[in-house]
Structure 1
Amino acid sequence: MNTTDHIGTNKNYKDRLFRLLFAEKKYGLELYNALNHTEYSNAGELEIRTLEDAIWMKMKNDVAYLIRDILSLYEHQSTMNPNLPVRGLLYFADMFRGILRGKHIYGTRLVTLPTPVYIVFYNGDQEIGEEKWLKLSDAFAHGNGQSKMELLVRVLNINGGHNSQLMERCPILKDYAVLIGKVKAHRGEMDFGESVKRAVEECIAEGVLREFLMTRRAEVMNSILTEYDEEKVLADIGQERYEDGKAEGKAESILELLEEGGDVPEELRDVILSETNIETLKRWLKLAARADSIKTFKSQM
Structure 2
Amino acid sequence: MFYVSKILQGLIINKDLYSSRRIYIPIPRFYMFYNGLKEMPPKEAIERAITECIKEGILSDFLKKNRAEALEMNWYEYNEELHLKSERQIAYEEGIEKGMERGQIQYILRMYKNGYSLNQIAEIAVKTIEEVQAVIEKEESVLIKN
TM-score bracket, normalised by the shorter chain, equals 0.3 to 0.5
- Larger Rg belongs to: 2
The structure whose residues are more often helix, as a share, is 2
TM-score by length of 2: 0.42
The structure whose residues are more often strand, as a share, is 1
